[in-house]
């Protein structure tokens, strides 16, 4: 481990901490030699985006809200940029602020100017976004994976560097094993992190996709999905058939999910269909009060 990797654990402030930083009221091309290590107002047209930016989704409504805030109060926290050889700059961190500043009609933005190589650019962009916790779970997972690969870190070491728990890092990385369609659903907030964590424990991809589609179609809660996964696991544990037959049997679970939906609609209450080995099982009808139980019993007796 070198000094750079130790800095990673101290967060973005350590990475950007440069003694002797001066505040320069306005960037002046004629004084370019004095730009590094200063905070200056830099024309937005001179700032290129960060090619290592881990964030790929920017919520339009959120950007508009930030733009409105910038119109009223200005940009409170400077962005961070690095100098390029052609007299322009490249964004290290603060892309959301730059986008909002443009929407607000600004032509320049306060920026901390520093020098950085490509590896430092990538490191700082990922660390800042992860520490701000404004990435979706897939972007966070991809950021973790990138740091592990680029710096040859173990999950344990990465946990220490970022101050994140080992289980949290492991759970995020497991999301990258999900089918692309489900990852997109998580990025677009069609499902939650809880849904995804339950789905990733299923080995069969088609079963994952079937349950994912049912989550969206039926509005299944995280607990509903966990129960389905639990039933699948119990079926597999008690099943003495060959593995290749288990996959097809797991795929048939959709039949029981559809049955649960039909019964829930009929009784106006949550219904669970639990299956066991040999075709056995149970149907559980939930009720919320004695009056609700009486209502359900009348339906059963029809």
Q: What is the pLDDT of residue 95?
A: 85
Q: What is the pLDDT of residue 276?
A: 62
At residue 195, the 3 state secondary structure works out as helix
Q: What is the pLDDT of residue 300?
A: 83
- Domain segments of the chain: what residues? 3-135, 178-300
Q: What is the pLDDT of residue 232?
A: 81
Active site residue 72: no
Task: Outline where the chain has alpha helix (H).
Answer: 3-9, 12-16, 60-73, 95-103, 118-132, 137-151, 155-162, 166-174, 180-187, 193-199, 205-218, 222-238, 243-251, 253-267, 290-300
Q: What is the pLDDT of residue 197?
A: 95
CB 271 within 8 A of CB 264: yes
CA atoms in the 13 A half-sphere facing the CB of 14: 14
The tens digit of pLDDT for each residue in 77-90 reads 898 888 887 778 88
In eight-state DSSP terms, residue 46 is G
Average pLDDT, the chain: 77
Reported residue count of the chain is 302
The tens digit of pLDDT for each residue in 153-201 reads 899 988 887 778 999 999 999 999 999 999 999 998 899 999 999 999 9
Q: What is the pLDDT of residue 291?
A: 83
**Low-confidence residues in the chain, pLDDT < 50:** 1-25, 27-29, 33-34, 240-251
At residue 203, the 3 state secondary structure works out as coil
Q: What is the pLDDT of residue 56?
A: 62
Q: 86: Cβ–Cβ under 8 A, 6 or more apart, which residues?
A: none
Q: What is the pLDDT of residue 244?
A: 41
Q: What is the pLDDT of residue 262?
A: 84
**CATH topology classification for 3-135:** 3.90.1530
Which two three-digit tokens encode residue 138? Answer: 């897939």
Q: What is the pLDDT of residue 5?
A: 42
Q: What is the pLDDT of residue 277?
A: 59
* CA-wise closest residue to 79 among 124, 120, 123, 119: 124
CB 198 within 8 A of CB 174: no
**Catalytic entry in 85, 95, 123, 237:** 95
């Amino acid at each position: 481990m070198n000094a750079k990797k130790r800095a990673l654990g101290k967060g973005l402030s350590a990475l950007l901490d440069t003694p002797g930083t001066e505040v320069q009221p306005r960037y002046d091309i004629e004084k370019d030699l004095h730009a590094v290590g200063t905070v200056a107002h830099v024309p937005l047209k001179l700032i290129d985006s960060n090619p290592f930016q881990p964030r790929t989704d920017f919520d339009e409504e959120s950007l508009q809200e930030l733009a409105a805030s910038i119109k009223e109060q200005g940009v409170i926290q400077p962005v961070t940029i690095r100098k390029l050889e052609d007299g322009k700059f490249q964004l290290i961190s603060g892309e959301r602020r730059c986008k909002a500043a443009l929407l607000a009609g600004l032509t320049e933005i306060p920026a901390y100017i520093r020098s950085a190589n490509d590896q430092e650019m990538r490191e700082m962009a990922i660390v800042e976004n992860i520490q701000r916790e404004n990435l979706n779970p897939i972007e966070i997972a991809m950021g973790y994976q990138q740091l592990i690969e680029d710096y040859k870190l173990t999950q344990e070491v990465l946990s220490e560097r970022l101050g994140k728990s080992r289980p949290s890092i492991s759970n995020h990385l497991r999301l990258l094993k999900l089918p692309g369609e489900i990852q997109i659903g998580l990025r677009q907030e069609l499902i939650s992190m809880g849904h995804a964590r339950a789905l990733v424990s299923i080995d069969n991809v088609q079963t994952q996709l079937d349950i994912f589609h049912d989550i969206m179609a039926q509005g299944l809660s995280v607990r509903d999905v966990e129960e389905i996964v639990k039933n699948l696991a119990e079926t597999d544990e008690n099943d003495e058939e060959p593995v290749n037959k288990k996959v097809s049997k797991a795929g048939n679970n959709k039949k029981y999910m559809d049955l649960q939906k039909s019964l829930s609609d009929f009784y106006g209450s949550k219904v669970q269909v639990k299956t066991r080995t040999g075709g056995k099982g149970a149907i559980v009808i939930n009720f919320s009060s004695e009056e609700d139980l009486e209502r359900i019993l009348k339906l059963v007796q029809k």
